């Protein structure tokens, strides 16, 4: 997908949340923060998690998030486990 909407990205991120639990992402702001942080990591030399024909770091970060390769966790979850997942 070339340009997923914010609602599509939020649906992908929150797809693993069970009924009754709080969603991982509540706003567009969380999506923007997560993709910007990942784009900075890519600029710093991190390897992309997906293969894409676009070389722009922000586009790669959005693609990773949309394909489910990039996970957003809260800071509390990140402190509890060191699985390498991204936090918001």
Q: What is the mean pLDDT of residues 55-60?
A: 89
d(CA 14, CA 28): 13
On the question of pLDDT at 65 being above 90, the answer is: no
Closest CA to 66 of 13, 24, 17: 13
Q: Sorting pLDDT into bands at 50, 70 and 90, what band is 13? A: confident
Better pLDDT: 46 or 88: 46
On the question of pLDDT at 41 being above 60, the answer is: yes
How do the residues of the chain divide into helix, strand and coil, expressed in percent and rounded to 5?
50, 5, 45
pTM flag (> 0.85):
no
- DSSP three-state, residue 83: coil
Question: In angstroms, how far apart are the furthest CA atoms of the chain?
Answer: 39
Domains and CATH numbers, the chain: 6-87 (3.90.940)
Q: What is the pLDDT of residue 77?
A: 53
Q: What is the mean pLDDT of residues 42-60?
A: 86
């Amino acid at each position: 997908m070339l340009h997923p909407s914010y609602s599509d990205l939020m649906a992908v991120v929150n797809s693993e949340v069970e009924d009754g639990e709080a969603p991982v992402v509540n706003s567009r702001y969380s999506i923007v923060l997560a993709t910007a942080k990942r784009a900075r990591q890519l600029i710093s030399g991190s390897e992309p998690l997906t293969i894409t024909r676009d070389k722009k770091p922000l586009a790669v970060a959005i693609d990773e998030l949309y394909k489910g390769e990039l996970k957003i966790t809260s800071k509390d979850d990140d402190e509890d486990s060191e699985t390498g997942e991204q936090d918001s």
